[in-house]
Amino acid sequence: MSFEQYITPPIPVAMQDRLVKSKYPQFKTKILQGNVATWVGEIKPTDSSQTYLVEITMQTSKPPAIVILNPKLEIAKGRTRLPHVFPGNRLCLHYPNYKQWENTKSVADTIIPWTSLWLFYYELWLIDGKWHGGGKEPNKRRANAG
Amino acid sequence: MQLTYPLRVYLKEGSMSTQVFSEESLIIAIVESLSPTKAQYDLATSRYKTVAQWLADDEGKLGKAHPKLYSQGSFAIGTPNRPVAGNEFDFDFVCEAELHPFELLLLIKARLQQNGIYDAKVEMMNRCIRITYKNDFHIDILPAQPDYTSSLGCVLIPDRKLQRLISTNPKAYAHWFQGQCRGSMRKAFVEAHIEPAPHYVPAERKFVLQNSVQLMKRNRDLYFAKDPDSAPVSIILTTLAGALYESGNRTLPTLAQIVDEIKTQTQHSSQPFQIENPGNPGEILTEKWREDRSRYDAFVDWTNHFSDQIHQLTSIHGIHKKTELLQKMFGESVVNNAVEMNTRAIDEARKNNALNVRSSGVLTASSVGAVSRVAGNTFFGSEEEE
C-alpha cells in the first residue's frame, strides 16, 4: 500500500468506462456494475498487423485481466507456449513491483496501449521465436508469481 | 579535358514518414536495404574521379582526344541494386571521344594498365573495360564515339563478339527516365543539372518509379536464380516500368499498377511485343524475344507470378505473414533488415517516451492523431523459452 492511496482515490469504474470509450470508441462495454467493468474492442498494433478482438476485465481491487478473443494466438516455430502471459493466456503487461499499473491510473492510458504493444511484439515473436519487447521473468522457483 | 557529369535526378519533395510498419514503410526499408549505402556511393565516386582524372591526364592519343566521362545505367538513373550473390556492385561509365570505338577500347585499357593500381584488375569485356576492386565493385568503362548522323547524345559503342558498332544513347535514356519519374508532372520543364558522379539518396526520398524498378529487378533475380540466362534484362524492365508508370507517390501501389499493366500487355497477343529504346528510336530492346521465344514465355510467367505475389501481399495481415511473403519476393536478409529498421524506430520511440497510440490501437512515433502516449511498461508473466 503506497502513501499515494490516501490522497488519490481509485478511478471509479464508471469514469474508467468513459475514458476508454472516448479514446477508443470501437470498444463496447459488456459489463459495468458495481466495481466491475468488461470491455471488448478491436486493436490493430500497426497498419501491417492483424486486427485483434480484445477483452479487458477490471475490478478496482485487482489488476485488469486482458485476453485476446480472436484470432486464436499461435505459437512460434520452435516454441511451446506464449511468452509474457499468465495462466489462461491473460496478457502480462506490467511488472507489479514497478507499480506501472495502479487503480489510480486510467486503463485507456495504460492497459490498452500496452496491449497493442504486446500484440506488436507477439507478431515479431511469431517470426523468429524471440521476444523483442524486453521484460522480466518470474523467479523460476516461484512459478505462479506475478 | 572535360569531365562531363551525368544528368541529375531531382530529389522528391516529400516528408519522411513517421509511420512504422505501414505497408509503405516496410517496402521503403526493403528498397533501402537493396541499395548501395552512402559509404559505398562515396567510395565509388572517389574511385570514379581518380579513374577519370587518370584518363584525362594521358599525354598520348587518348588525352589529346579530350574524352568525356559520364555515368550510365542504373547508377545514372538511381536504380542500382546489390547483386544477389556476393557483394559486388556495378558502376557503368561512358568514355566518349572522337576516336573509333575499337581503338578507344584499346587506348583505355592501355592507359589503365600504365597505372600500377589497375594492372592486376583490368579486363577487356565484350563492350567495355572492367576495373575490378576486390570485394567492392566493378567500374565498367564503355568507349563511345559521338554519332553525328543521329540525334543528340547518340553514340557508337563497340561489340567485340558481333565485331561491329552499336548505336545507342545513354544520356537520352537517362533524361527520359528522369522525366517519367515525375509521373503526372512529366511535362513540366526538367532542368538538366550538372554534378559529379551519382550520389546517395535515401529510399524514402527517391521517386516511387525508381523504387519500383529496384523491386522488379530484385524479384526477377530471385525468380530466375537457377536460370539466369532466361531472365529479362534490366533495361527491358526499366523501360517498361518507365513507360507504364502513370502517377502516384506510394511505392507498392505503383509497383502493382506497373506489373498489372505489363501483364495486361502480354495478354493482348500471343506474340512478344516490341520495346523501342525511348532514348534511341530504332533500337529495339526486345530483339532476343524474337530470336528465342522461350525467353519471352519465361518473362510472361514471371510477370504473372510477381503480380500474384503483389496482390497476395495486400490481402494478408499480420507482420509475421507479410514478412514471410516479402522474404519470398525480395530475399530473406533484405527483408529481415527492413523489419529490424522498423522495429528499431518503435524501440527508440519507446525508450525516449515518445511512442504514442491512435484510437485504432496503431502504434506511432508521431503525435498527430494520437490519443495516448504509451506509458513505460515492463512485460512480465511466463518465462521466455530458451
Distance from CA of A125 to the nearest CA of B (A): 8
Hey, is B130 helix, strand or coil? strand
Q: Does B347 touch chain A (CB under 8 A)?
A: yes
Task: Tell me how far apart the alpha carbons of residues B336 and B333 are, in angstroms, rounded to a whole number.
Answer: 5
Chain A environment of B367 (Cβ under 8 Å): none
Grid coordinates representing A136?
522480466
Quickly tell me which residue has 545507342 as its cell.
B168
Q: Contact B374/A113, CB-based, under 8 Å? A: yes
Pairing of strands A52-59, B155-159: unpaired
Distance from CA of A103 to the nearest CA of B (A): 15
pLDDT (tens, 9 = 90+) of chain B, 386 residues, equals: 333 222 222 222 223 345 789 989 999 999 999 998 888 888 888 888 888 899 999 999 999 999 998 888 898 999 999 877 665 778 889 999 999 999 999 999 999 988 766 655 899 999 999 998 876 678 899 999 999 888 778 999 999 999 999 999 998 999 899 889 987 665 544 444 434 578 889 998 899 999 999 999 999 999 999 999 999 999 999 999 999 998 888 999 999 999 999 999 999 988 998 999 998 888 899 988 989 999 999 999 999 999 999 999 999 999 999 999 999 999 999 999 999 999 998 998 899 998 999 999 999 888 888 888 898 888 887 767 76
Residue of A115, A90, A142, A125 whose CA lies nearest to A24: A115
Interface test with B, best of A21, A24, A48, A84 (most B CBs within 10 A): A48
Task: Tell me how far apart the alpha carbons of residues A54 and B316 are, in angstroms, rounded to a whole number.
Answer: 20
Give me the residues of A, 83-142, that contact B with CB < 8 A. Answer: 83-86, 91-96, 98, 100, 108-110, 112-121, 123-124, 126-127, 129-138, 140
Cβ–Cβ pairs < 8 A, chains A and B: 167
What's CA A117's distance to the chain center, in Å?
10
Whether A70 and A53 have beta carbons less than 8 Å apart is answered as yes
Residue of A103, A105, A107 whose CA lies nearest to A22: A107
What is the complex's ipTM, to 2 decimals? 0.87
Q: How many other CB atoms are there within 10 angstroms of residue B87's CB atom?
A: 10
Q: Contact A83/B362, CB-based, under 8 Å? A: no
Interface test with A, best of B27, B337, B379, B384 (most A CBs within 10 A): B379
Q: Contact B21/A47, CB-based, under 8 Å? A: yes
What's CA B253's distance to the chain center, in Å?
18
Give the CA distances from residue B344 to residues B240, B327, B338, B349, B357, in Å, rounded to whole numbers and listed in that order.
Answer: 36, 19, 10, 8, 17
Hey, is B196 helix, strand or coil? coil
Task: Name the phi and psi angles at A77, rounded to 5.
Answer: -60, 135
Give the CA distances from residue B348 to residues A32, A109, B175, B181, B341, in Å, rounded to whole numbers and listed in that order.
Answer: 37, 20, 40, 33, 11
Minimum Cα–Cα distance from B384: chain A residue: A83
Q: Which residues in chain A show pLDDT less than 70?
A: 1-6, 139-146
- How much helix, strand and coil, in percent to the nearest 5, is found in chain B? 45, 15, 40
- DSSP codes, B269-293: -SSPPP-B-TTSTT-BTTHHHHH-H
Q: Which amino acid is at A25?
A: P
Using CB atoms within 10 A of its CB, is residue B117 exposed (0-12), middle (13-18) or buried (19+)? middle
What does the angle CA B196 – CA B198 – CA B202 come to, to the nearest 5 degrees? Answer: 130
Task: Tell me how far apart the alpha carbons of residues A29 and A41 are, in angstroms, rounded to a whole number.
Answer: 9
Q: Contact A100/B375, CB-based, under 8 Å? A: yes
Q: How many other CB atoms are there within 10 angstroms of residue B39's CB atom?
A: 9
Hey, is B35 helix, strand or coil? coil
Minimum Cα–Cα distance from A146: chain B residue: B381
Q: Contact A47/B23, CB-based, under 8 Å? A: yes
Per residue in A72-112, pLDDT tens? Answer: 999 999 999 999 998 889 999 988 777 778 888 899 999 99
Hey, is B241 helix, strand or coil? helix
Listed in sequence order, the residues at least 6 apart from A44 whose beta carbon sits closer than 8 Å to its beta carbon are A50, A51, A52, A116, B360, B361, B362
Task: Tell me how far apart the alpha carbons of residues B212 and B258 are, in angstroms, rounded to a whole number.
Answer: 8
Q: Contact A50/B317, CB-based, under 8 Å? A: yes
Task: Tell me how far apart the alpha carbons of residues B128 and B106 are, in angstroms, rounded to a whole number.
Answer: 10
Grid coordinates representing B358?
491512435
Chain B environment of A46 (Cβ under 8 Å): 20-22, 319, 362-363
Task: Tell me how far apart the alpha carbons of residues A101 and A111 are, in angstroms, rounded to a whole number.
Answer: 8
Hey, is B250 helix, strand or coil? coil
Q: Contact B21/A51, CB-based, under 8 Å? A: no
Give me the residues of A, 29-68, that contact B with CB < 8 A. Answer: 42-51
Report the pLDDT value the prediction gives residue B5, as an integer from 0 to 100: 26
Quickly tell me which residue has 562531363 as its cell.
B4
Q: Does B19 touch chain A (CB under 8 A)?
A: yes
Report the pLDDT value the prediction gives residue A7, as an integer from 0 to 100: 73
Whether A109 and B369 have beta carbons less than 8 Å apart is answered as no
pTM score of the predicted model = 0.88
